[in-house]
Structure 1
């Protein structure tokens, strides 16, 4: 069994015609037919079935399809990695970012990198932190930049701290909190709270903070975008938690109608902006250079 035969299985399932498969692979139709028969002889069972001019997979063929898709996908990935491994002239770097770093931290670095290496295409996915970890484990991205405040349980992930951050309370400038020298836990619990996206670091942080202080946050709204949370607070819809780094990268947050205060009560460890990659996959030249850009901030 070779990769050409497995590609034929995948393409037959997609196109249902030998002529179309031959065109995609750049082969003659008799050559494709030869490989199909050879595969069936090798496995000792029928893999293909012809019905009304269309070729479909038998049940055995459908069982093989799953593995054929995985093997051909990994083969293509390996070819691309080797081709782009030591070059900064071309290639694609797939980066995943948590919601806060993706909106406030990564764009500046990405802009500098793209100006210096215009041949590298950056494919940046901004998702909730739990989704980013899953994408990294599934090799859907090459690197991740996100907030963490505790070690990962996954042994195959390498974490490198880029910068310390802090979670602060944000509230409208006109709020009664502005007149207080100190805000306590119960006062926060009595206010409408604008919650961040499920699966995001800051959502998990707020839930751990509430549990540590034995209060329930009044979750009056939930929003997937950090910017939307900030704007909701600015419009006096409620209060929320935010990263200090994210606020510093805003244009004059005080003039935007948002004020900040330290979090009271029992604290949860503050987050760190972290670079994460897999130990078991090689990092390309583009990935190594992008990591260097992150470290230089």
Structure 2
């Protein structure tokens, strides 16, 4: 069954005249008649019948009509998808080696969208960063001219809003001393080290209940009441917009200030193969004044 045959079935049901179907399709009437006979031969049963000067679908034709509608809908969906995301759509690979990789992926998508680029999010694997177009990592102690600093993020303690209200929790210190498990960043990350250093200076013994690779996952678990998590919160409106797309609903999560903890810092590097229009889009997005 070709697409034109599926369309003929649908149009016969609508118009009930071969001449009108032919006009709608821009075909000659004998061509439409040929396709109708071909379909009946293909399915081995009558699909059309003439009644009072009109062409109607038989019972078998009506059953096939349901599938014709589905086939045409699928064809339209495929055409729409290919127009939006077809083979001509340009993508850049992203490696976000940081404890908030989901937020960084969202940022990259927002920054590249005006230039018509999408992202391909790579997993953190040994050596994969060598091939990434865009790399984002936790800022290193030694400055590197190839790496661009990103806006700082404040660190907040994410807790379940429902739990905090029920337990009367209003401050981070009380939440951390409540016995709720700590949803910790992965070992080896600067964020984890930063949290542990801050907690030790205040005599807090964090009981690790979960260790997760990404702050968005940690925030989601905290919002569900499975523990408390320290998450980066960007005051820069551009990054805040990107973060809002992936963080849990604020109605489920309460963010408590962590007094005295340093901001979380990240940096970005663009590969040599990044096209100029994509490079300009990211640079412009970073350099444009926050609204």
Q: 1:159 to 1:152 in 2, by over 3 A?
A: farther
Is the contact made by 1:185 and 1:213 (CA closer than 8 Å) also made in structure 2? no
Is the contact made by 1:169 and 1:241 (CA closer than 8 Å) also made in structure 2? yes
The aligned residue for residue 254 of structure 1 is: 250
The aligned residue for residue 157 of structure 2 is: 169
TM, length-normalised to structure 2: 0.52
SS of structure 2 residue aligned to 1:163: coil
Alpha-carbon distance between aligned partners in 1 of 2:250 and 2:213, rounded to the nearest angstrom: 23
Is the contact made by 2:222 and 2:253 (CA closer than 8 Å) also made in structure 1? yes
Alpha-carbon distance between aligned partners in 2 of 1:263 and 1:224, rounded to the nearest angstrom: 21
The aligned residue for residue 235 of structure 1 is: 224
Alpha-carbon distance between aligned partners in 1 of 2:200 and 2:182, rounded to the nearest angstrom: 15
Alpha-carbon distance between aligned partners in 2 of 1:204 and 1:219, rounded to the nearest angstrom: 13
In the TM superposition, what is the alpha-carbon distance from 1:248 to its structure 2 partner? 4.2
Does residue 1:123 correspond to 2:111, yes or no?
Answer: no
Q: 1:92 to 1:152 in 2, by over 3 A?
A: farther
Alpha-carbon distance between aligned partners in 2 of 1:186 and 1:91, rounded to the nearest angstrom: 45
Q: 1:250 to 1:282 in 2, by over 3 A?
A: closer
Q: 1:105 to 1:212 in 2, by over 3 A?
A: same
Which is greater in Rg? 2
Aligned pairs for 1:126-165 (under 5 A) are 126-127=123-124, 136=129, 139-148=130-139, 151-153=140-142, 158-165=146-153
Does residue 1:196 correspond to 2:185, yes or no?
Answer: yes
Q: 1:291 to 1:232 in 2, by over 3 A?
A: same
Is the contact made by 1:95 and 1:123 (CA closer than 8 Å) also made in structure 2? yes
SS of structure 2 residue aligned to 1:113: helix
5+ residue gaps, structure 2, are 1-87, 235-239
SS of structure 2 residue aligned to 1:274: strand
Is the contact made by 1:101 and 1:146 (CA closer than 8 Å) also made in structure 2? no
Residues 64-114 of structure 1, C-alpha deviations (whole Å, 9 max, x = no match) = xxxxxxxxxxxxxxxxxxxxxxxxx99864332145553124335425625
Is the contact made by 1:195 and 1:219 (CA closer than 8 Å) also made in structure 2? yes
Q: 1:152 to 1:159 in 2, by over 3 A?
A: farther
Q: 1:291 to 1:126 in 2, by over 3 A?
A: farther
Q: 1:157 to 1:135 in 2, by over 3 A?
A: farther
5+ residue gaps, structure 1, are 1-88
Alpha-carbon distance between aligned partners in 1 of 2:115 and 2:189, rounded to the nearest angstrom: 31
Aligned pairs for 1:241-280 (under 5 A) are 241-245=230-234, 248-250=244-246, 253-255=249-251, 257-264=252-259, 267-277=260-270
Alpha-carbon distance between aligned partners in 2 of 1:252 and 1:102, rounded to the nearest angstrom: 15
Is the contact made by 1:194 and 1:220 (CA closer than 8 Å) also made in structure 2? yes
RMSD, aligned α-carbons:
3.8
Aligned pairs for 1:17-56 (under 5 A) are none
In the TM superposition, what is the alpha-carbon distance from 1:166 to its structure 2 partner? 0.7
The aligned residue for residue 57 of structure 2 is: none
In the TM superposition, what is the alpha-carbon distance from 1:143 to its structure 2 partner? 2.9
Is the contact made by 2:115 and 2:278 (CA closer than 8 Å) also made in structure 1? no
Aligned residues: 193
Is the contact made by 1:192 and 1:237 (CA closer than 8 Å) also made in structure 2? yes
